[in-house]
Each structure stands twice: as C-alpha cells, then as structure tokens.
Structure 1
Amino acid sequence: MLPVLLTLLIVLLNLGGVASIVLELGHGERWPALNALVLLLVLDALGFWLLRRLREPG
C-alpha cells in the first residue's frame, strides 16, 4: 500500500512541478523556473530512492 501511495505522490509532485515551471516561464521568470526545476529533480530523486528502498526485500 505504501509504494502505491508514494508513486501517486511522485506523479502529483511532477504534475504540480511542471505546471509551476510552465507558468513561471510564461511570465518570463527564468530563475524561479530554474529553481523549481532543480527542486523538482531533487524531490524526484528522493522519491525514487525511497520507492526503491520500499520495494527491496529484507
């Protein structure tokens, strides 16, 4: 159950992050969009690492 919830959280995080980046670029704000992209990548890496740890046996 927990891996399914974590996967859903990662998907929703990516949707929100992409929307944020698109809206910031639409307003011509490049640095905040870059900051949002970096934060999104860091949170994705953390989420995938946690998901892999949950799926490992042992």
Structure 2
Amino acid sequence: MLPVLLTVLIVFLNLGGVASILLEFGHGERWPALNSLVLLVALDAVGFWLLRRLREPG
C-alpha cells in the first residue's frame, strides 16, 4: 500500500512542479523557474530512491 501512495505522491509532485515551472517561465522569471526545476529533480530522486527501497525484498 505504501509504494502505491508514494507513486501517487510523486505523480502529483511532478504535475505541480511542471505547472509551476511553466508559469514561472511564462512570466519571464528564469531563475525561480530553474530553482523549481532543481528542487523538482531533487525531490524526484529522493522519491524514486525511497520507492526502490520499499520494493526491495528484505
């Protein structure tokens, strides 16, 4: 059950992050958009690492 919830959380995180990045680029705010992109990639990396750890046996 926990891996499913984590997967849903990662999906919603990505949807919100992409929307934020697109809106910031649309307003001409390049540095905040790049900061959001870096934060999104970092949170994705942590989320996928946790998901892999949850799915490993033992």
TM-score (norm 1): 1.00
Unaligned runs of at least 5 residues, structure 2: none
User: Residues of 1 paired with 2:51 and 2:13: CA distance?
Assistant: 14
CA distance in 1, matches of 2:21, 2:12: 14
**How large is the RMSD of aligned CA atoms in angstroms?**
0.1
1:7 matches 2:7: yes
**Paired-residue identity, %:** 86
Identify unmatched segments of 5+ residues in structure 1: none
1:13, CA displacement in angstroms?
0.1
Q: Once the two structures are superposed, what CA deviation does each residue of 1:14-45 show, in whole Å capped at 9, x if it has no partner?
A: 00000000000000000000000000000000
Count of matched residue positions in the alignment of Structure 1 and Structure 2: 58
